[in-house]
Chains A and B, each alone.
Chain A
Amino acid sequence: MKITYPHMGNVCIVIKALLTDLGLELVLPPPTSRRTVELGVRYSHEFACFPFKLNLGNYLEAYELGADTILMAGGVGPCRFGYYAQVQQQILEDLGVKMEMVVLEPPDVSFHEVKDKIHYLIGDLPWWQVFKAVRFAWSKARAIDTIEEKLLYFRPRVKEPIKLEGYFRETLKEIDEAADRREVERVVNSFLKKSEIMPQLSVKPLKVGLVGEIFTLLEPFANYDMERRLGLLGVEVTRSVWLSAWINEHLCRGLLRVRTECSDDKKLAAPYLNSFVGGHGVETVGCTVGFAQRNYDGVIQLAPLTCMPEIVAHSVFPAVSEDYQIPLLTFYLDELSGEAGLQTRLEAFVDLISAYSRKKEGVL
C-alpha cells in the first residue's frame, strides 16, 4: 500500500510525520504547481471549487510516482467538500486510474467509522506507538504554526524580508526532516533567534485580518501568495485559521489546549449570521467582527469562486463594515484569477486602510 494525500499548505509535513511513524509507506505528490492545476482543471467539472481541482491534480501527480491509495478527509453539512472524495473517486475511475480512496469522515460525526478505517490502514499497532506518532506529528504542527506566525509578524517589520523568507523555508525543511521532538524544538528556536535579531524598520505596520475558507487560507498556491503580497506591502497579517487549532477542534474534539487570537470569535457571528451555513461561513463572519473589535485596520476574505458558505458570509459584510467602520475586501479565487488585477486591488486596499488609520489617529 503506497499512500498519498492532497496538499494543503504545510499540512503535508504533519501528516507525513504521523503516517511514517505509524509504519505506512508514503508517496507524496510534488508541491502544487501550474502542472497540478492543469491536470486538475482538465479532468474536473468547470464549476467545481478550486480546492477540488488542486486535489485531483495532486492525486494524478502522485499516481505517476506510484501511489495507489489516497487518504482523504470527508465532511458533512451544506459545503460541497462533503462530496469531494466520492466525486474525485468517480473521476479517477472513469480515467482508468487505479487508486483506492480511504475517506476519513470527521470523527465528531462517526467515531467508529474512523476507528475502522484507521484499523484498516495500520492493522494491530500497539496503542503506545500510535500515541507516540500522534504526539510527534502534533509537535510538528505546533512548530509550523509558530514559525508561520513569526514570519507574518516579522515580514512587514524587517529590512530584508526576502532573507527572512529564506530562513523560513530552511526551517520548514528542517522541521520536515527532524527525527524527534527535541530536534523540532531546536530548529524552531534557532529560527526565532535568527529572525529576532534582524534589523527592523521604524514604521509601525498596518494590521489586516485574513478570514475565509480554510484551504484557500492555508494553501499559498490557491491564494496567490496573499500573505506574502501583503507582508511585502508592509502589512502584518493575522490569519483566522491555524493548522494546530483546526486539528484540535475537528480531530481531537477540542481536548488539547490551543489558543489562537480568534478562538472565541465564532460566537460573534450573531446577530449577523445566526445559523450554520456550512464550511467556515460562521467563522468568517465571527472572526471579521473579532478583528474589528480588536481594532485591526482591515479584513480580507478569501474564498474559492462559487464557494457557497463564503458567499453567504460575504453577504452580511456590508452590515459588519458599517457597524464597525472597518474596510473589508473579498477575493474569490480560482485558476482564472488575474494576478495583475489582484495585486492592483491589494495595493489600493492597503492605501485605503492606511488613509483610514491615519484619519482615525487624527493625522489626516
Chain B
Amino acid sequence: MDLYLGIDVGSVSTNLILIDHQGELYLSPLYLRTQGQPIAVLKQGLALLEERLSATDRICGAGTTGSGRSLAGALIGADIVKNEITAHSVAALSQVPQVRTVLEIGGQDSKIIILKSGIVVDFAMNTVCAAGTGSFLDQQANRLNLSIEDFGDIALQSTNPVRIAGRCTVFAESDMIHKQQMGHTLPDIVAGLCEALVRNYLNNIGKGMEIKSPVVFQGGVAANAGICSAFRRALETDIIVPQHFDVMGAYGAAILARDYTIEHGCETQFRGFGVTLLEFQNRSFICKGCPNACEIIEIKQGKEVLARWGDRCGRWTVAESA
C-alpha cells in the first residue's frame, strides 16, 4: 500500500504515524519518549515501523514537525518540514472540519490556534512560562504520589475543587502543599490543580483570543479527564478530544507530506528504513569567524555533511532549517 509517514519530535515524546491516501491511519501510531536523545529514538521508532510493514508497503512521502523537526527532517530525508502550529491545525481540520479553536497542550509548550472557515487566523504559544504544560502536571502528580494516568479520574471525584494560585509553577506547588496541610481532600486538590492549569492557560495563551466552538483539545494532556472537564466549565462549551489526540502533530505532518508530494507530483526524498542502520555523528562548535560566536550544529553521516545550521550569516549553512 502507498503510505505517508509523519514524525513529530517533541521535547517529551517522539511520535510516528502512517496514513494512506485517504488520510486513514495505517497500523497504530507510535508514541515514544524522546528522553533527550532524538536521534536514537527516531531510529528506534523507524525500526519498529519497518517490522510491522509488509513487503508491498511503500513510503511515498514523509513529513516532520515538532521542536526537533529540522534534525529529523535531515536524518530521514523529509519532503516537508513544518512548524507545530500548522501541523496541529491541519490535523484538527481533518478530524473536525468546522473547528474554530484548537487547544494544544504538550510536554513543554502549549498553544492555541484560532481558525475561521478552515484557515488559521490567529495563534499563540507560551513564551515565558511552562506552568500550564504537561511537565508541570507530571511533577505535581509525582509530588502527590499519583500516577499521571490516574490523575484525571481522581479529579473527577471532587465535589469542591480548592482554589490554587496557578500563575507560577513554583508558587502553585507551595500553594498546593499549603492546601494539603490545611486538610483538603486529595480529589479536591487535584481538581483544583486542573482548574489552576486551565486558568493559567486561558490567561496567558488565550489572552485576547476569541474562543469559539467547536473547540478541539489535543496534545498529551488531553488524556487527562480532569483538565478536559475544567476546560468545559471555564469555556462553557463542549470540548472535542479527537481519537488520536496525542499524535496529532505527527498526523498533521503526514497529511502535509501527502498533500505536498501529490501537489508537486514528485518522488519522495525519504531515504528509506535503511537509515536505522546508519551511524550519524552530531556535533556542535562555536564559529570563530566574528564576535557573534554562533553555535553551529552539524549532522554528519560518515564523511558527508547532511545538515548544518545555527549561524547568523549563512557561511556554514548546508540545508536550510526552514
Query: B127 to chain A: which residues have CB within 8 Å?
Result: 337-338, 341
Contact with A351, one of B86, B117, B292, B317 (Cβ below 8 angstroms): B86
Residue of A nearest to B68 (CB): A340
Among A31, A340, A345, A352, find the residue whose CB has the most chain B CB atoms closer than 10 A: A352
Task: Give CA–CA (A356, B292) in the complex, Å.
Answer: 37
Query: B136 to chain A: which residues have CB within 8 Å?
Result: none
> Is the Cβ of A233 less than 8 Å from the Cβ of B121?
no
> Is the Cβ of B121 less than 8 Å from the Cβ of A347?
no
Contact with A along B276-299 (1 / 0, CB 8 A): 000000000000001111000000
| Minimum C-beta distance from B91 to chain A (A) | 14
Among A221, A233, A318, A344, find the residue whose CB has the most chain B CB atoms closer than 10 A: A344
Contact with A352, one of B84, B121, B125, B208 (Cβ below 8 angstroms): B121
> Is the Cβ of A34 less than 8 Å from the Cβ of B119?
no
Task: Give CA–CA (A341, B67) in the complex, Å.
Answer: 9
Task: Give CA–CA (A351, B119) in the complex, Å.
Answer: 10
> Is the Cβ of B312 less than 8 Å from the Cβ of A225?
yes
Main secondary structure, interface of A, reads helix
Is A201 part of the contact surface with B, judged by Cβ < 8 Å? no
Task: Give CA–CA (A351, B115) in the complex, Å.
Answer: 13
Task: Give CA–CA (A340, B322) in the complex, Å.
Answer: 11
Residue total for B at the interface (Cβ-Cβ under 8 A): 28
Is A359 part of the contact surface with B, judged by Cβ < 8 Å? yes
Is B313 part of the contact surface with A, judged by Cβ < 8 Å? yes
Query: A345 to chain B: which residues have CB within 8 Å?
Result: 83, 85, 123, 125
Is A30 part of the contact surface with B, judged by Cβ < 8 Å? yes
| Minimum C-beta distance from B67 to chain A (A) | 6
Query: A251 to chain B: which residues have CB within 8 Å?
Result: none
> Is the Cβ of A344 less than 8 Å from the Cβ of B120?
no
Is B308 part of the contact surface with A, judged by Cβ < 8 Å? no
Contact flag A352-B123 (CB < 8 Å), given A232-B320, A232-B322: yes
Query: B119 to chain A: which residues have CB within 8 Å?
Result: 352, 355-356, 359, 364
| Minimum C-beta distance from A117 to chain B (A) | 31
Interface size class of A (residues with CB under 8 A): 20 to 34
> Is the Cβ of B120 less than 8 Å from the Cβ of A352?
yes
Contact flag A318-B123 (CB < 8 Å), given A165-B313, A225-B312, A348-B86: no
> Is the Cβ of B123 less than 8 Å from the Cβ of A34?
no
> Is the Cβ of B125 less than 8 Å from the Cβ of A33?
no
> Is the Cβ of B85 less than 8 Å from the Cβ of A30?
no
Query: A20 to chain B: which residues have CB within 8 Å?
Result: none
Is B199 part of the contact surface with A, judged by Cβ < 8 Å? no
Is A35 part of the contact surface with B, judged by Cβ < 8 Å? yes
Is A309 part of the contact surface with B, judged by Cβ < 8 Å? no
Is B43 part of the contact surface with A, judged by Cβ < 8 Å? no
| Minimum C-beta distance from A154 to chain B (A) | 15
- Count A-B pairs with CB separation below 8 Å: 78
Is A343 part of the contact surface with B, judged by Cβ < 8 Å? yes
Contact with B along A144-165 (1 / 0, CB 8 A): 0000000000000000001001
Task: Give CA–CA (A327, B115) in the complex, Å.
Answer: 12
Is B82 part of the contact surface with A, judged by Cβ < 8 Å? yes
Is B24 part of the contact surface with A, judged by Cβ < 8 Å? no
Interface residues of A in 189-236 (CB under 8 A from B): 220-221, 225, 228-229, 232-233
Contact with B125, one of A228, A337, A341 (Cβ below 8 angstroms): A341
Task: Give CA–CA (A348, B86) in the complex, Å.
Answer: 6
Is B314 part of the contact surface with A, judged by Cβ < 8 Å? yes
> Is the Cβ of B322 less than 8 Å from the Cβ of A351?
no
Task: Give CA–CA (A348, B291) in the complex, Å.
Answer: 31
Residue of B nearest to A166 (CB): B314
> Is the Cβ of B292 less than 8 Å from the Cβ of A33?
yes
Query: B320 to chain A: which residues have CB within 8 Å?
Result: 232
> Is the Cβ of B85 less than 8 Å from the Cβ of A33?
no
Is B122 part of the contact surface with A, judged by Cβ < 8 Å? yes
> Is the Cβ of B322 less than 8 Å from the Cβ of A347?
yes
Task: Give CA–CA (A228, B314) in the complex, Å.
Answer: 10
Query: B85 to chain A: which residues have CB within 8 Å?
Result: 344-345, 347-348, 351
> Is the Cβ of B322 less than 8 Å from the Cβ of A33?
no
Query: B291 to chain A: which residues have CB within 8 Å?
Result: 30-31, 33-36
> Is the Cβ of B123 less than 8 Å from the Cβ of A348?
yes
Query: B317 to chain A: which residues have CB within 8 Å?
Result: 162
Contact flag A351-B67 (CB < 8 Å), given A31-B290, A233-B322, A359-B119: no
Task: Give CA–CA (A35, B84) in the complex, Å.
Answer: 32
Residue of B nearest to A29 (CB): B291
Query: B208 to chain A: which residues have CB within 8 Å?
Result: 318
Residue of A nearest to B11 (CB): A340
Task: Give CA–CA (A221, B290) in the complex, Å.
Answer: 13
Task: Give CA–CA (A228, B322) in the complex, Å.
Answer: 12
Task: Give CA–CA (A344, B83) in the complex, Å.
Answer: 6
Contact flag A344-B125 (CB < 8 Å), given A31-B291, A318-B208: yes
Residue of B nearest to A325 (CB): B121
| Minimum C-beta distance from B169 to chain A (A) | 17
Residue of A nearest to B109 (CB): A341
| Minimum C-beta distance from A345 to chain B (A) | 6
Task: Give CA–CA (A358, B117) in the complex, Å.
Answer: 13
Contact with B120, one of A36, A318, A341, A348 (Cβ below 8 angstroms): A348
Q: Can you report 22 A-B residue pairs in the complex whose CB atoms are below 8 A from each other?
A: A31-B291, A33-B290, A34-B292, A34-B293, A36-B291, A220-B312, A232-B320, A232-B322, A340-B67, A343-B83, A343-B322, A345-B85, A347-B82, A347-B85, A347-B86, A348-B84, A348-B86, A351-B85, A352-B120, A355-B120, A356-B121, A364-B119
Q: Which 9 A-B pairs have the closest CB atoms?
A: A348-B85, A33-B291, A347-B83, A162-B314, A355-B119, A351-B86, A344-B83, A352-B120, A348-B83
A-B contact sample (15 more), CB < 8 A, given A33-B292, A345-B85? A31-B290, A33-B291, A220-B312, A225-B312, A233-B322, A318-B208, A338-B127, A341-B109, A345-B125, A348-B85, A348-B86, A351-B82, A351-B86, A352-B120, A359-B117
Residues of B within 8 A of A (CB): 67, 82-86, 109, 117-123, 125, 127, 208, 290-293, 312-314, 317, 320-322
Residues of A within 8 A of B (CB): 30-31, 33-36, 162, 165-166, 169, 220-221, 225, 228-229, 232-233, 318, 327, 337-338, 340-341, 343-345, 347-348, 351-352, 355-356, 359, 364
